[in-house]
Amino acid sequence: MASGTLLYSQSGGVTAVINATASGVIAEARARKVKVLAARNGILGALREELVDTSKETAAAIRALAHTPGGAFGSCRYKLKSVEQDRARYERLLEVFKAHDVRWFLYNGGNDSADTANKVSKLAAEFGYPLTCIGVPKTIDNDLAVTDCCPGFGSAAKYTAVSVREAALDVAAMSETSTKVFVYEAMGRHAGWLAAAAGLAGKGPDEAPHLILFPERPYDEADFLRQVKKVVARVGYCVVVASEGIQTADGRFVADSGGGKDSFGHTQLGGVASYLAGKVKDELGFKVHWTLPDYLQRSARHLASKTDVEQALAVGKAAVQFALKGRNATMPVIVRTADKPYRWKIGSAPLDKVANHEKKFPAGFIRRDGYGITDKARAYLEPLIRGEAPPPYGKDGIPAYVTLKNVAVKKKLPKWEG
């Protein structure tokens, strides 16, 4: 067995395939005789010294992670501040790492997680502690810089496109005497990637979704209502997909709930679909239905993209390889090498090029009228939702997901009081 321990942790909102990445990490580490601990509930578990020994899990259980949604070890929304502001917490992390001989730290998350891994790597260097920190990409928002796409996005995009397609058929069937407008809210605070994926549900101007609202384009209420009215007059009904983070020209979130900030300092949003539905009903008089898929869009492992699952496994495997090679403060990323046929490979990026950078949906991917996607966007998005990777089903008709034992490692340090 290699000298030292690898610590893996999941952070931020989980996805349908983050456990596939965990499966890739643990399987690759086992193949290289490296012990893997996992922190419970993200970085909080590391601070609290709440660690689990993954060697207590069977090989079958680790394989089953690849088709199980959620976060097997627990995740958290907990943002460490700068080293100067949060030095005590960073030093506590190093104490925990030293106590358990952690020489490789893999943090599986998005922008904030990449930032945390980067800061931990710098503090370890300052203290002369031999630690290799690797960021492992994950987000359904697809807003990580450098990487062509991000594990988690492809499956959420597939769920979005399929759900909009199916709901549109329902609305079309009932539109003569019932619902005229259907509003679907997609996740995406500042970047419209997931809302854009709904555009794959149809191709022509009369096929749903008829209108997509992007955070990258200012929301003009009067124009939006005019567009809805025009579509209903032409098609008989209108399907709208709105990103949760759409803003007015002055930068105000349309769905700002006034509920303050979350733990990452983000504005709490209150539901853009219900707002838009109310406006359509009040101003145009149409019967409206709206939906907020919320966690469903990121947890739907039964509808995962095969491409996404393969990429999630690949970044997990590569993260271990990077770590054991001492490639500190880096992240494995996905590099697209061809569109037709779609091909990709694993590349790398320094964490300081990923941390705190946000990849917006490109202007060239948005239709000229601002309410749909271009052919260029379709060429980018389509390969990411291709292929099916259904989980195995039990006799009861329910997917056979795995629950790990998560055997705790004995604590060696005083209780953390932070």
Decide if 81 contacts 42 (C-beta within 8 A): no
Non-local CB neighbours of 353 within 8 Å, separated by 6+ positions: 145, 146
396 a catalytic residue: no
Q: What is the DSSP string of 119-165?
A: HHHHHHHHHT---EEEEEE--TT---SSSSS-TTHHHHHHHHHHHHH
Residues 70, 301: Cα–Cα separation, whole Å:
9
Q: Helix or strand or coil: residue 339?
A: coil
Residues 302, 290: Cα–Cα separation, whole Å:
23
Decide if 139 contacts 147 (C-beta within 8 A): no
The neighbouring-strand residues paired with 399 are: 393
| CA triple 287-288-289, angle to 5 deg | 135
Q: Helix or strand or coil: residue 367?
A: coil
Residues 175, 49: Cα–Cα separation, whole Å:
57
User: Of the listed 112, 141, 143, 148, which one is catalytic?
Assistant: 141
Catalytic residue numbers? 141
